[in-house]
Amino acid sequence: MTAADGAHGYLVRRARVGYGSLVDTWMLAENEPAARECAALAVKQGVWPEPMQRARDHVPGLTARPLHDPTGFWFTGYLEEHYPLIRAEIDRVLDSPASPVLPTLEDGWLTRSGSWQQAHLFRDGRWQDAVCAHFPVTTAILAEIPEVTTLSPGVIMISRLTPGTRIMPHCGSTNAVLRIHLGITIPAGVTIRVADQVLAWQEGKCLVFDDAYEHEVRHDGAEDRVVLILDMAHPDLAGELRDRLLARRPLPEDRIVAFMRERGLGRIGIADGRLEFAPDPATRDRLAAYLAGAGATGVRLDGDELHWQRAADRG
């Protein structure tokens, strides 16, 4: 590979991030025609092969289709066989006041209405012991599936949606991962759209899809929807490519560093149950300049509305 090839690849990756953020912004504003126009332009410019599969980390050459046949993976039958045990344990925990399945902070921006709750049993290449302690039976069952644990670059989590929840159209970060859903509690009126296919989960059955394709969820039912979500490496991914993907699994330290750098934070802490944070020096100076330029000593954002604090307000 020449230096020119490397530079081109870097620019394409940057374009994917930029276009992906723009498409997400239009989707967040519920302007889907603008989002689709943006995605089509990205395809025309060679950013992605197709407008519905918009992974920021796109691995070329992998079989690309929205849905995969669950029977093509040995462990889907194993999960379905153990569904009664898994459901009994999840039902028991969800009914308890100590349930770790809580409203998501990480993916909350995707929730247009209702409540999306999650608990991770496995992420960043390791079991999450505090959550697994609530689900010993389920954890033991999952531990027998290396495809979704030691060989998985993704997560295992319990996902709960309350009635009225709508998760906006979005795409996963990479096409190198397939996502498996095991339906736990599936009321009528809940659907998932993957690309142009609208589906309903079935209790005790697995759904396998490529979440790099655009997908969204609508909950028009009357009871909570619960699924067990598992990730696995794309079956076409092997050898060095898979090893490289597994090696990139971030540690918790990596996540917090990336979060703080992205937002210009220098310190985060919790004191007396309150979250406290302070900007890094560069961000602090920039914000101070913005406030000075506006003749303000403070500002509060309420939705799309700014509330300014002036020096005279203190009197």
Question: Is the same domain home to 181 and 290?
Answer: no
Q: Is residue 160 domain-resident?
A: yes
pLDDT tier, 303 (very low <50, low <70, confident <90, very high otherwise): low
Say how far apart CA 216 and CA 194 lie, in whole Å. Answer: 7
> Among 109-113, 118-122, 213-217, whose mean pLDDT is lowest?
109-113
- Angle between the N-to-C axes of helices 83-94 and 74-81, in degrees from 0 to 180, rounded to the nearest 10: 60
The β-bridge relationship of strands 67-68 and 177-185 is unpaired
- Give the pLDDT mean for 82-104: 96
Question: Is the same domain home to 281 and 137?
Answer: no
pTM as predicted: 0.79
Question: Is the same domain home to 307 and 188?
Answer: no
Higher pLDDT, 171 or 11: 171
- pLDDT at res. 36: 97
Question: Is the same domain home to 76 and 221?
Answer: yes
Higher pLDDT, 298 or 137: 137
- pLDDT at res. 312: 65
Question: Is the same domain home to 170 and 228?
Answer: yes
pLDDT tier, 314 (very low <50, low <70, confident <90, very high otherwise): low
Query: Helix, strand or coil for residue 182?
Result: strand
- pLDDT at res. 5: 47
Query: Which amino acid does the sequence have at 3?
Result: A
Question: Is the same domain home to 150 and 223?
Answer: yes
Give Cα separations from 134 to 20, 61, 85, 139, 155 (angstroms).
Answer: 36, 40, 14, 9, 17
pLDDT at 255 over 90: no
Q: Which helix (H) or strand (E) holds 278?
A: strand 274-279
Question: Is the same domain home to 72 and 36?
Answer: no
Domains contained in the chain, number: 3
pLDDT at 1 over 50: no
For 237-260, b where at least 16 C-beta lie within 10 A, e where not — what string? Answer: beeebbeebeeeeeeeeeeeeeeb
> Among 27-41, 54-68, 124-138, 269-283, whose mean pLDDT is lowest?
269-283
How is residue 231 written in tokens? 């990730």
